[in-house]
Structures are given as structure tokens and as C-alpha cells.
């Protein structure tokens, strides 16, 4: 091939249009590298003399950041979800009318060259210009507010357990082995006894008389467990632990009031559909930490279905789940996509035609943790999901079985919230029969491939 011909081919290639995947999709895009003390912002070339600027994380600095971005004609902004430092920037830019995308850090971690804050924001801006960054999920504003209240309530309950342990430790130091005769020292019997001890009561018979009729152990057994030596320093520890426990209970009650108000304020656009005609709320046994108000009715009013029909779900679990994912299930195209976002699907790590790993992706998704917790309660449940969990546990182990069962629950909840269908329990026997039919079908197919025929024992006896 001559040089002239080669030059003509090169020129003809240069005239070809740019492929669509290399076009600037977001022409007026900015990238922000979020930090604790300052934020670095990158804008396209030609918008300003400096394409990268640093702004303070103070409110005055954030206002300057927003003013500069708007002055440069930016229409869309991308930033990493770094801790909680992104929240003030996100909310301020959203109030200014900009399209803000919160991006998973795993999509922006491969910075070419040396890594600095300046290069980070420029890399985010470049990726966002070509449309290579997907926005992370963020529910509607009302759902975000509900999520904050629910997370605050969860934190308060977790803090309460610390003071329960302190009360139990103080009792053990006085050799009052209350936890051996009561399933829960913070139940009715336990709290009556602890408050009486804190009030100055020392008689074992009087303390044991506070036994609730539903308590399994007798009065005599409880009386023996309450025989100990009351030392002043241990009583002081018990008193302080009890006072702190009561304070946290008051804070939880105040949080419940705010959650009830927030559920009542949900707009009509947030409510999925009207409750199904003819459906009744099948109430399960209330959890110890369940709110005092009628949460079941509120949830059914918002969702239009009864999520408590699903095995493993109660009103508190449903509240945690809705607080994390919201009510708009159209954000996910299908139940499979929803389960994938939760991180409950098997992995797909393949190289050279060989599958290297099938582990689900690591995720700190709180909704997935809630579903796993719901699935872990089905070990002794006589439902189809309970039978499914037990079968997988014997074959794959408890961890994988719980994840697979949580995956099924996630798909069920997606279909209930998206399409307003009620859950119908098939039962353990139905699942076992389905599983048996599937195994027999596979055995017959395998026997035919090997040149054998499978015959039932009942037919052979006749």
C-alpha cells in the first residue's frame, strides 16, 4: 500500500462522526470531591478562568459554591457519597434547582494518574460529562424524613441495650440472678422487681410476689434467685442504669410520636393505592420495641396491602423497610432489579469462561439487613418460605440460605407494593410437594438419558 493511499484512509477515518458512547451527554456538568473541611469543584473548560476551585464546608462556603456553579451555567452536578458530608451540599444545590447526582464511590475510584483532590473532582466531572455515572437511590422527601426518624429510633433502642446490660451486671454483682429465672429482665416482672429494689425493698418474698401470672418459674424459684447481698456501690450502679434506661424509653416514645405524625402527613401522591376491598389486618404478636400507636393500620393505609401477611414480617420490620426504600417502587424496573440493588442476588464473577465466585456483593444496605433479619426468623415456621429456608440451610449453610430467603421476600414485597397484590400463603405441604415433583421429574429425565425407566414402588407391588 502506497503512502498516498494510507494518508487518504487516515483522512477518511478522521471525517467519520464520533461514536455515540464518546459524545458529551452532559455538556454542562460539574464534579465535586466532597470532604470534611472543604469541597473541590471542577467545571468544563471555558466556563471560568479556573476550572477547579476549593470551597469551605461552612454554609458561607457552600453558598459561594452554588453561586459559582450557577454563574458558570452548570445544569447537572455529580458527587461522591462520602460519609454524611455530602448531605448539606446535596440539599443546597437541589434547592437552587440543579440536577444533583449522588454517585457510588465504586464508580469513581479508578482515577487515572496520581490521586489528589483536584484530580478526583476533574475525574468525576469527566465521567459525568460522558454519562458514565448512575445516580444512587434516594427516596422522596417525605420518605427521607421518615427514614431519619426510624434510624434515630433504631439508634435509641441500640443504646438502651447498653443500660440493660449495666442493670444485669449490677444485679449479678449482688448475686441476684434474676436473668436465670426470667426470660427478659425488662419485662413486666423484671421491671417491677428492679424498681422495688431501687425504691428500697429487700424482702425476697415481697419481691417475688411481683411475679406476673404468665411467668414460667414459680414464686419460690424467683425468691431463691433474689437472695443476695445488697451493697451500696452496686445499688448505686443499678439506680443510675435504671434512670438512664427510663430516659431512653422517654426519648423512644417521643420519637414514636414524631413517626406517627409523619405517617399521617404523607401526601396522596406518596400513597400507593387504596387498601384492597375485603382485606382485614391479621395482627401478629407485637414486638417488645413496637410503637404504642396503631402502626398496622397506618402501614396498610399507606401501602394498600398488608405486609404483615408475609412470613417473617411484622409491623416494626415493615416500618424499617418502608423508611429505607419509600413507597414508589417504580424506581426499579422489576423485582429482579430491586433484589440486585439490595445486594441479595448471587455474584457473577467470570474470567476466561470460568466462574470464579458467586458471592453476593458486599453492601451496607439497611433494607437488605432488615430482610435478612426477617428471613432468619423462619427456621421453625410452617410456611413455604420456612420450608425453603430449611432445605437450603441443609445444603448451603445458614448464611446463604438466609440471603436466598431474603431475596424471595424482597421480590414478594416488590410485587405487593408495585402492583397492589395480596400475599397468599401456599403452605409448607404445598412447597414440599412441589419440591418432590421437581426432584422426581429430574430423576426420570436422568434415567431416560442413561437408558433406564423410573417406576414407583406402589406400581411394582400391584
B/e letters for 351-373, b = 16+ CB within 10 Å, e = fewer, are eeeeeeeeebeeeebbbbbbbbe
302 grid coordinates: 399507606
Cα angle 189, 192, 195 (rounded to 5 degrees) comes to: 145
Please identify, in words, the CATH class of the domain defined by 22-129. alpha beta
Model pTM? 0.82
The three three-digit cell numbers of residue 447, written as one number: 434415567
Q: What is the pLDDT of residue 49?
A: 87
406: burial class by Cβ within 10 Å (0-12, 13-18, 19+)?
Answer: buried
pLDDT of residue 277: 46
Q: What is the mean pLDDT of residues 442-446?
A: 91
Residue-wise pLDDT for 59-94, tens only, equals 999 999 999 999 999 999 999 888 889 999 999 999
Instruction: Sketch the domain layout of the chain as residue ranges.
Output: 22-129, 143-264
Q: Do domains 22-129 and 143-264 have the same CATH topology?
A: no
360 touches 373 (CB < 8 A) = no
- Tell me which fold the domain 143-264 belongs to: Helix Hairpins (1.10.287)
Question: Would the pLDDT of 283 be above 60?
Answer: no
Model confidence at 272: pLDDT above 60? no
DSSP 423: P
Amino acid at each position: 500500500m502506497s503512502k498516498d493511499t494510507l494518508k487518504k484512509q487516515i483522512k477518511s477515518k478522521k471525517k467519520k462522526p464520533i461514536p455515540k458512547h464518546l459524545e458529551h451527554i452532559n455538556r454542562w456538568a460539574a464534579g465535586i470531591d466532597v470532604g470534611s473541611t472543604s469541597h473541590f469543584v471542577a467545571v468544563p473548560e471555558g466556563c471560568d478562568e479556573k476550572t477547579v476551585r476549593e470551597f469551605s464546608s461552612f454554609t458561607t462556603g457552600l453558598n459561594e459554591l452554588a453561586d459559582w456553579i450557577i454563574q458558570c451555567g452548570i445544569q447537572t452536578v455529580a458527587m461522591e457519597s462520602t460519609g454524611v458530608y455530602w448531605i448539606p451540599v446535596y440539599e443546597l444545590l437541589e434547592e437552587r434547582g440543579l440536577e444533583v447526582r449522588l454517585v457510588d464511590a465504586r464508580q469513581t475510584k479508578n482515577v487515572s494518574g496520581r490521586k489528589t483532590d483536584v484530580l478526583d473532582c476533574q475525574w468525576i466531572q469527566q465521567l459525568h460529562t460522558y454519562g458514565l455515572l448512575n445516580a444512587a437511590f434516594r427516596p422522596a422527601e417525605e420518605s427521607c424524613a421518615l427514614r431519619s426518624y426510624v434510624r434515630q429510633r433504631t439508634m435509641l433502642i441500640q443504646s438502651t441495650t447498653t443500660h440493660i446490660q449495666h442493670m444485669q451486671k449490677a444485679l449479678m454483682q449482688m448475686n441476684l440472678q434474676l436473668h436465670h429465672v426470667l426470660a427478659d429482665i425488662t419485662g413486666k416482672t423484671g421491671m417491677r422487681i428492679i424498681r422495688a429494689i431501687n425504691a428500697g425493698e429487700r424482702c425476697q418474698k415481697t419481691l417475688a410476689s411481683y411475679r406476673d401470672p404468665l411467668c414460667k418459674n414459680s414464686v419460690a424459684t424467683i425468691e431463691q434467685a433474689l437472695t443476695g447481698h445488697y451493697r451500696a456501690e452496686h445499688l448505686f450502679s443499678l439506680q443510675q442504669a435504671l434512670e438512664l434506661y427510663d430516659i431512653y424509653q422517654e426519648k423512644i416514645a417521643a420519637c414514636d410520636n414524631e413517626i406517627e405524625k409523619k405517617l399521617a402527613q404523607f401526601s396522596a401522591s406518596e400513597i400507593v393505592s387504596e387498601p384492597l376491598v375485603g382485606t382485614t389486618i391479621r395482627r401478629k404478636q407485637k414486638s417488645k420495641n413496637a410503637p404504642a400507636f396503631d402502626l398496622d393500620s397506618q402501614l396498610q393505609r399507606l401501602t394498600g396491602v398488608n405486609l404483615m401477611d408475609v412470613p417473617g414480617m411484622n409491623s416494626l420490620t415493615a416500618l424499617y423497610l418502608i423508611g429505607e426504600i419509600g413507597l414508589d417502587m417504580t424506581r426499579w424496573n422489576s423485582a429482579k432489579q430491586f433484589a440486585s440493588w439490595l445486594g441479595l442476588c448471587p455474584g457473577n464473577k467470570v474470567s476466561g469462561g470460568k466462574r470464579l465466585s458467586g458471592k453476593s456483593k458486599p453492601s451496607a444496605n439497611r433494607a437488605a439487613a432488615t430482610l435478612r433479619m426477617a428471613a432468619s426468623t423462619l427456621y421453625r415456621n410452617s410456611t413455604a418460605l420456612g420450608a425453603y429456608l430449611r432445605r437450603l440451610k441443609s445444603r448451603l449453610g445458614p448464611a446463604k440460605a438466609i440471603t436466598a430467603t431474603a431475596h424471595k421476600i424482597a421480590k414478594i414485597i416488590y410485587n405487593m407494593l408495585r402492583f397492589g397484590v395480596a400475599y397468599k400463603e401456599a403452605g409448607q405441604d404445598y412447597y414440599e410437594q412441589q419440591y418432590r415433583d421437581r426432584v422426581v421429574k429430574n430423576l426420570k429425565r436422568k434415567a431416560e438419558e442413561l437408558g433406564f425407566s423410573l417406576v414407583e414402588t406402589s406400581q411394582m407391588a400391584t
